[in-house]
Structure 1
Amino acid sequence: MSYIVALTGGIGSGKTTIANMFAKLGVNIVDSDCISRQILLTNREVLMAIYKYFGKKIFIKDWIVNRPLLRKKIFNSKEDRLWVNNLLHPIICRDSHAQLAFSQSSWCLWVVPLLIENNLQCYANRILLTDIDLKLQIKRTAKRDQITYHEVNKIIRAQATSWSRISVADDIIDNNGSLDILNRQVIDLNQNYLHFSKYL
């Protein structure tokens, strides 16, 4: 198994952009969000459980989950959020570990938005946090997802705090600047992780 670096951060903090930059450097990526989307597309048992819990209205058509509606329900109800997390988390964990086990690069980036919330720190050799100013985080997320600032705030409040993430992070990427500045940080970190992976 490769040396595992877990990348975490709040919504709109740049995890996907950072992961894509690492991928261009030849790093294998295991993305929990991608795995979650795949489960919601193909896992019939999960879809049946969601149907029984939320009803037919949660689907657009033909067992296609209405993801914006599901997200709205999750971040408007702690009970719904816990139920969905308890349903998906074990499967996401299982599939993530299976993909990590087959990583072929010297080190592997494991993108885990809910690393702190699900207490997954022990499964990584190192933890990388992408940090961003709150106002910029809200602005970027609202623009990207076409939702209101109020809705973004709800999501942020439901996630781990910035301080709780900082407290467990080994490395922090400052994502308040340009893409060039971000890419330089990624290149430097890649060199560090290649060095660390030699001593695994």
Structure 2
Amino acid sequence: MKPWILGLTGGIGSGKSAAAAHFASLGVHTVDADHAARWVVEPGRPALASIVERFGESMLQADGTLNRAALRERIFQSPEERRWLELLLHPLIGQEIAANLEQAQSPYAILVSPLLVESGQRQMTKRILVVDTPEHLQLERTMRRDSVPEEQVRAILKAQAQRDERLKHADEVLLNDSDLGHLQREVERLHDFYLNLRGGRP
């Protein structure tokens, strides 16, 4: 029987990567949408050629990889250019994710995506697990992890789906307001629950 797909999401600094890593250590096939997004613009992939054709050689680093900072700057200034890029990349990222999920051998598989709700990727999933963290902890953790100023983290929080919007779509919520041990115990509890679901439904 094909594994059913669990969507795992959460805001920046919520601990979704740590949760995903623990699910993976329990033998669950996990696919990270961010990795797929990076992979579709690797050198030699058609998307990178299209980006350079549209925006010019300044989109490439000296080693032939995508100059993300230049691209980000370009699309932030122009909503049409951003739309063009999304139309190019979203279907490719979707195909990449689907191909990777196809390889899953575990009873269920996980799609990890910070933009699960906004990007429409939730259509690929049967259930959604939101890793939720109080905002002051998100700020603290992200500033510590990425050594970035508070304003920058607040700007990212604003751009991501609002917490209420994410929680509205959640089938389960993992409240990550304690330490890593607590997070891992919660993951194990949910894993047992998910193993008993047929096709993602109780």
Q: How many residues align?
A: 200
Aligned residue number for residue 21 of structure 1: 22
Unaligned 5+ residue runs, structure 1?
none
The more displaced of 105-114 and 66-75 is 66-75
Unaligned runs of 5+ in 2: none
Q: Structure 1 vs Structure 2: percent identity of aligned residues?
A: 38
Pairwise CA RMSD: 2.3
Q: Is the 8 A contact 1:47 1:63 kept in 2?
A: no
- Residues 74 and 171 of structure 1, relative CA distance in 2, 3 Å threshold: farther
- Whichever residue aligns with residue 138 of structure 1, its letter is L
* Alignment correspondent of 2:11: 10
Deviations 1:28-48 (A, max 9, x none): 111111111112224532112
Shift of residue 183 of structure 1?
0.3
Change (3 A) 1:91 1:43: farther
State the Cα distance separating 1:189 from its structure 2 match: 0.5
| 1:154-169 pair list within 5 angstroms | 154-169=155-170
**If the length of structure 2 is used for normalisation, what is the TM-score?**
0.87
Kindly state the Cα deviation for residue 116 of structure 1 after the two structures are TM-superposed.
1.1
Deviation at 1:148, TM superposition (A): 2.4
* Structure-2 residue corresponding to 1:32: 33
The range that moved more, 151-160 or 104-113, is 151-160
CA distance in 2, matches of 1:125, 1:25: 20
Map of 1:67 onto structure 2: 68
Q: 1:21-170 alignment to 2 at 5 Å?
A: 21-68=22-69, 70-71=71-72, 78-170=79-171
> Per-residue CA shift, 1:123-157, capped at 9, x if unaligned?
21110111112122123223333332222222221
TM-score relative to the length of structure 1: 0.88
Q: Does the C-alpha gap of structure 1 residues 199 and 56 become closer, same or farther in structure 2, counting only changes over 3 Å?
A: closer
Cα distance change, pair 3–46 in 1 and its aligned pair in 2 (3 A): same
Structure 2 counterpart of 1:116, which letter? Answer: V
* CA separation of 1:14 and 1:81: change in aligned 2, threshold 3 A: farther
**AA matched with 2:153:** V
Partner Cα distance (1:22, 1:52) in 2: 40
Task: Give, in whole Å, the separation in 1 of the partners of 2:194 and 2:19.
Answer: 15
The structure where helix makes up a greater share of residues is: 1
1:154 partner amino acid: A
